[in-house]
Structure 1
Amino acid sequence: MRQDPGVAEEPLTLYLVKRLELAIRARMDDALRPHGLSTLQFTALTALRARGGLSSAQLARRSFVTPQTMNEMVRWLERHGHIARHRDPDNRRVLLLSLTDAGRTLLERCDPLVERIEAEMLDAVPTVQHALFRQSLELGYGALAEE
């Protein structure tokens, strides 16, 4: 509950989570830029690595972007040789996406950069709290996600 407007108070947890997300994204964008990727493109490629054969709409949901944004991203990633599209054998109207060898190689080069950013963030959290920190984030996401 909000206090008297004249009294300083701690920021909302939502605000802290957003600040963390913005800091992570800025650091990831800086690390990935020399490899020709943005954080959103990296996220899409890692989602395809985890589960290939997704439609553009499915990939949009897993990458936290709109279908329109994903369509543009898919065209860019395909044009640069990181993904390929092929027809779904069960529904010929649907195009499925998969990583190319070049896309896998790019992720292998970028993974250590992102892992270093995560390690730097977690270095600020006592080791015994890492699992609790992760679990708390998962629970918060689960409470608000529209799945």
Structure 2
Amino acid sequence: MSKQESLERSLGYNLKRTQHRLRRRMDEALKACGLSTAQNAVLAALKAQPDMTNADLANAAFITPQSMQSVLAGLEAAGYVVRRQDDHHGRRQLARLTQAGEEMAQKGKQAILQVEEALANAVSPLSENEALALLHRLQNALD
């Protein structure tokens, strides 16, 4: 078996390749909104759960806490996010969306809708729930 054939049969390699293509497609779709994929992930996470920490947001966006600091600073400067000190842990800051951030989160969601639809169509004959269950099994296998 050649090296290329070996890669084509590798689950890990193909998952990474799929993730890379997904990231490129999302970047292209979000460009019209003026958002990066990381910024969109932050807006979506804060829409789902306000008052998240830098570390929580970094985890949600698949970036380091150090990188998240600059992403949050940019979103804050754009007026999409506000941060405040955590009343229970003085050193932690909690982020939440502004009204403009809520609107931008919705625009980001709409921008990637076609990408999500392409993925949903590609999993056929599996249902979306079956495909998600498979992805969750793969994730759990790596924990």
Structure possessing the higher relative contact order (Cα contacts under 8 Å, 6 or more residues apart): 2
Distance 1:7 1:79, change over 3 A: closer
Match of 1:126 in 2: 124
Unmatched runs of 5 consecutive residues or more in structure 1: none
Match of 2:20 in 1: 22
Tell me which of 68, 90, 104 is aligned to 2:88: 90
Match of 1:64 in 2: 62
TM-score normalized by structure 1? 0.87
TM-score normalized by structure 2? 0.89
CA distance in 2, matches of 1:103, 1:142: 33
SS at 2:63 equivalent: coil
Amino acid at match of 2:16: K
CA distance in 1, matches of 2:109, 2:139: 23
Match of 1:55 in 2: 53
Distance 1:6 1:48, change over 3 A: closer
CA distance in 1, matches of 2:119, 2:100: 29
Q: Which runs of 4+ in 1 moved over 6 A?
A: none
Superposition CA RMSD, Å: 1.9
Distance 1:89 1:12, change over 3 A: same
Distance 1:72 1:5, change over 3 A: same
CA distance in 2, matches of 1:40, 1:8: 33
Q: Is the 8 A contact 2:35 2:108 kept in 1?
A: no
1:17-42 Cα offsets, whole Å, 9 max, x none, are 11111111111111111211011111
- Please identify the structure whose Cα radius of gyration is greater: 1
Amino acid at match of 1:96: L
Amino acid at match of 2:133: Q
Amino acid at match of 2:101: G
Match of 1:115 in 2: 113
Number of aligned residue pairs: 142
CA distance in 1, matches of 2:37, 2:16: 16
Tell me which of 64, 68, 73 is aligned to 2:71: 73
Q: Is the 8 A contact 2:55 2:65 kept in 1?
A: yes
Distance 1:7 1:99, change over 3 A: closer
SS at 1:96 equivalent: strand
CA distance in 1, matches of 2:116, 2:131: 13
Higher strand share: 1
Match of 1:34 in 2: 32
